Amino acid sequence: MSNKLTRRHFLAAAATAGAGLTLNTAHGASEKPVLLGGKPVRTKAFPSWPVWDKTEEKALLDVLNSGKWFRGGGQIVTQFEEEYAKLMGAKSCLATANGTSALLTSLAVLGVQAGDEVILPPYTFVACVNVVLMLNALPVFVDTDPETFQIDARKIEAAITDRTAAIMPVHLGGNVADLDTILPVAKKHKIPVVEDACQSHLAEWKKRKAGTYGETGCFSFQITKNLNAGEGGAILSNDEDLIERCYAFHSNSRGRKTTGYDFKYVARGANFRMTEFQGALLLAQMTRIEQQARTRTENAQYLSNMLLEIPGIQPVRMYEGCTRNAYHLYMFRYKKENFANIPKKTFVRALDKEGIPTSVGYGPLNKEPFIKNTITSRGYEALFSKERLARWEEQNNCPANDRLCADEGVWFAQTMLLGPRSDMDDIAAAIRKIHAHAGELAKT
Ligand SMILES: *Cc1c(COP(=O)(O)O)cnc(C)c1O
């Protein structure tokens, strides 16, 4: 448990000492869960997403009526890049079509080639492994630290080989991976770090934004993300030359200053450009990002204080260096021992029925059959020795992650943290209710 959380926990415990029972009945723990025939804690919906008003409408209409829908003709995407870099405290930014293409562009420009290896966590979105496979490189999974849901940074060095061409930590759920352990190992072995910050807009490590520590930091603006334009992405870097090379890669080989019919090619590439419409939406959405982030943090801390009182519910821990959590997901561990051994799936279903939409979280990505199918394909067998592929299979073991996926990891979406405090009271009440009736639920 982080010091911060522990301290808060004790303060909260001291303040409510002896009041536990009163609280429980006040919030309906004595009522039956819906799964046992009771009434739901909540019938109201949580805040909807995305959020917009006339600001977005005007921004989109202005682009429409300008006829400048392409970043080459307009100035909106360029303006977004400048403002996003400023907000995040990075020297340079490149907007992209989506987060996946931000990751792919970063890895390709940093020199990840066919036959190379990339280190990544198994507790993440599938895009992370897809970009590695798209470059015909080998994804090397390092187990998860179940207390933080992040890559277990202490295990990265042992996974490095002479073919490791990049390390891709993911700041999962808006929490921040242990950069104090990752960055020195990367530096020692001269391996570039691509931070996947797709879920961690405004998160901070030692008061500096996550996504500004690696050679690049990649963001997604897909509709579920804390900053969104339906689709979109960005690469941040403090290396302006690197961003210029990313520009050429993302714009079919043509540099930032190439115009019109000036067909000069810098290097290989593809088309991953952002449209002016996306840029306009993002500039409008950015006027809300700080306030929304503050609301999520206040609600998340208030919720954690309540959940820490419930045996078997462990809100995710943050490393010492994480000075701001973006709470893209509110993540916690569920310990079935404290809930009469009812499996996670039943717990999640019971919460859903109480009107609290709950997710069982990711499955074990490293075990997806499509990965094995890819690396045993003709192309991979030409790129990697039989021994290397056999060793990959042997090493592709992430037992802590397996347990987290199967038994413990539970999430709420960021949108659930955007309403009033009373929404948090409902969440806690529903969990208390299930805890109080776990024995009966186990018999159903
Ligand atoms: C959303 C996400 C991506 C991919 O972003 P898209 O914009 O959907 O392509 C990559 N990594 C993580 C961790 C994500 O959450």
Domain boundary among 288, 310, 337: 288
Whether 128 lines ligand 1, by a CB cut-off of 6 Å, is yes
Residues 153 and 293 reside in one and the same domain: no
Is the pLDDT at 7 greater than 80, yes or no? no
Residue 219 lies in a domain: yes
Which of 12-26, 51-65, 81-95, 309-323 shows the lowest per-residue confidence on average (mean pLDDT)? Answer: 12-26
- Report the share of the chain in percent with pLDDT over 70: 93
Residue 242 lies in a domain: yes
**How many Å lie between the centroid of ligand 1 and the Cα of residue 198?**
5
What's the pLDDT score for residue 8?
A: 44
Residues 63 and 201 reside in one and the same domain: yes
- Report the share of the chain in percent with pLDDT over 90: 90
Residue 384 lies in a domain: no
Is the pLDDT at 19 greater than 50, yes or no? no
Q: How many domains does the chain have?
A: 2
Residue in the structure block whose two tokens are 């940093």: 110
Residue 371 lies in a domain: no
Residue 387 lies in a domain: no
Domain boundary among 257, 288, 319: 288
Residue 313 lies in a domain: yes
Q: First and final CA of the chain: distance in angstroms?
A: 34
pTM of the model: 0.93
Is the pLDDT at 329 greater than 50, yes or no? yes
What's the pLDDT score for residue 29?
A: 61
**Using one digit for the tens of pLDDT, what is the confidence trace for 34-70?**
999 999 999 999 999 999 999 999 999 999 999 999 9
Residue 378 lies in a domain: no
What's the pLDDT score for residue 259?
A: 67
Residues 81 and 141 reside in one and the same domain: yes
Residue to mutate, 170, 199, 223, 327, ligand 1, most ligand atoms under 8 Å from C-beta: 199
C-alpha distances (whole Å) from 439 to each of 27, 47, 135, 243 are 19, 33, 51, 57
Residue minimizing CA distance to atom 5 of ligand 1: 99
Residues 234 and 257 reside in one and the same domain: yes
Q: Measured from the CA of 221, which atom of ligand 1 is nearest?
A: 7
The mean pLDDT of 84-101, rounded to a whole number, is 98
Q: Measured from the CA of 124, which atom of ligand 1 is nearest?
A: 13
Residue in the structure block whose two tokens are 């079919």: 252
Token pair of 6 as six digits: 């522990």
Residues 284 and 335 reside in one and the same domain: no
Q: Measured from the CA of 172, which atom of ligand 1 is nearest?
A: 13
Hey, what long-range contacts does 80-85 have (CB within 8 A, 24 or more apart)? 80/274, 80/279, 80/282, 80/283, 80/286, 81/234, 83/283, 83/286, 84/234, 84/236, 84/282, 84/286, 85/236
Residues 314 and 233 reside in one and the same domain: no
Q: Measured from the CA of 101, which atom of ligand 1 is nearest?
A: 9
Residues 20 and 97 reside in one and the same domain: no
What's the pLDDT score for residue 424?
A: 98
**How many Å lie between the centroid of ligand 1 and the Cα of residue 121?**
14
Residues 116 and 183 reside in one and the same domain: yes
> What span, in angstroms and rounded, lies between the C-alpha atoms of 128 and 167?
11
Whether 174 lines ligand 1, by a CB cut-off of 6 Å, is no
Domain boundary among 256, 288, 320: 288
CATH number assigned to the domain comprising residue 103: 3.40.640.10
The mean pLDDT of 206-230, rounded to a whole number, is 98
Residue 382 lies in a domain: no
Whether 196 lines ligand 1, by a CB cut-off of 6 Å, is yes
Residues 116 and 160 reside in one and the same domain: yes
Residues 97 and 241 reside in one and the same domain: yes
Give residue 175's domain range.
54-288
CATH number assigned to the domain comprising residue 306: 3.90.1150.10
**Please, are residues 356 and 41 in contact by the beta-carbon 8 Å criterion?**
yes
Residues 62 and 105 reside in one and the same domain: yes
Residues 114 and 138 reside in one and the same domain: yes
